[in-house]
Structure 1
Amino acid sequence: MNNVFVFDHPLIQHKISLLRDKNTSAKEFRELVSEISMLMGYEVTRDIPLKEVEIETPIGHARTKVISGKKLAFVPILRAGLGMVDGLLKLVPMARVGHIGLYRDHDTLEPVEYYCKLPEDISERDVVVLDPMLATGGSACDAVKVLKRNNAKSIKFVCLIASRQGIERLHREHPDVAIYCAAVDETLNDDGYIVPGLGDAGDRLFGTK
């Protein structure tokens, strides 16, 4: 699959297995989501440009590299995407955070937008959209539309588990958006949940199941 990056690192795969387990508590689930997001963030941010600077160490002068002023924004899709923010902010604390609120209509399985708050300079930022699950692809596509409407500089989509249907839809509607995930599952059930997936990520994060 073009423009899809699936993480096969042993630590990520181990933590995804724990995340899927129905016996994992809400506390453990939140910790795992944060940890996996941080581990994935290492590769998601690989293309950040660097510039050379000169610093003084306790021993002498050194020419070394720092991030070259690239502006990032993390935009979780509410509410489950919130669980991924802290892990990524630990890596990139200078990033801004926006929020897009979507809920899925249970009859049509399509997203309904109810909230949007983005950094004022979103048009100058490279945006990373966060949502633990890429299921039907409806919410992901809608969030990307919102960001493009606000002239986001570039957009990546990061999830923990994706369905093949969700990947295909996001690629079909937004072929310019790279997808990063830790696992790809084959199917969706009649309610639009990924099978085998991990259930409702929002409910499991916040203990509302």
Structure 2
Amino acid sequence: MSARLAGLLPGELNERQTEVYRAIAGGRRASGPQAFSLADEEGRLRGPFNAMLLSPPVGLAVQAVGAAVRYESVLTDRVREMAILVVAAAWDSAFEREAHEAVGRTCGLTEPELDTLREGGLPESADPAERTALRATAALTRTGALSDQEYDDTVAAWGERGLFELTTLVGYYSLLALQLRVFAGEQPAERPVEHPTPPSESGTS
């Protein structure tokens, strides 16, 4: 499915939209080596960022949450990128997967780890704190909640701040995946329909 929302060129933006554009394309995301491009060759924002220009007040706030999650969190770079890829797998978001696999490689994620995350699994990390964060992320994407044990384990590993930032990460990247579906035309891969097993002719279950 093609994008529903046309990309806007920098010269087509009004003053408030330009503020959002500069915050995204000229902020922390644009500093240092670029693992993936934020804009196309003509300057149109890519992926979920283009839609943020539709409502500058909301778009500016949303991009600020994303910048805080990526650059001001107590979560390690590896945990952050693995958690994002867990969300990408849950939503089957090709853009998030492509972008954050590229970032993940710069953070030391191995190809076997990326393969596992791409398939919806969790890598067998040697770091107990990493395993705890990924189990919590998987639970949040699967059920939208944590058990008491998952809550206690994650707080023990990352503190209440870390858990808050992890839940914010899950919510933020789920929001981006939703916006990608609505505005960029990104659709999940079709999966075969599983038909329930019919009851036996004897009537027993």
TM-score of the aligned structures, taking structure 1 as reference length: 0.31
Query: More strand per residue: 1 or 2?
Result: 1
**RCO (CA 8 Å, sep 6+): is it higher in 1 or 2?**
2
TM-score of the aligned structures, taking structure 2 as reference length: 0.31
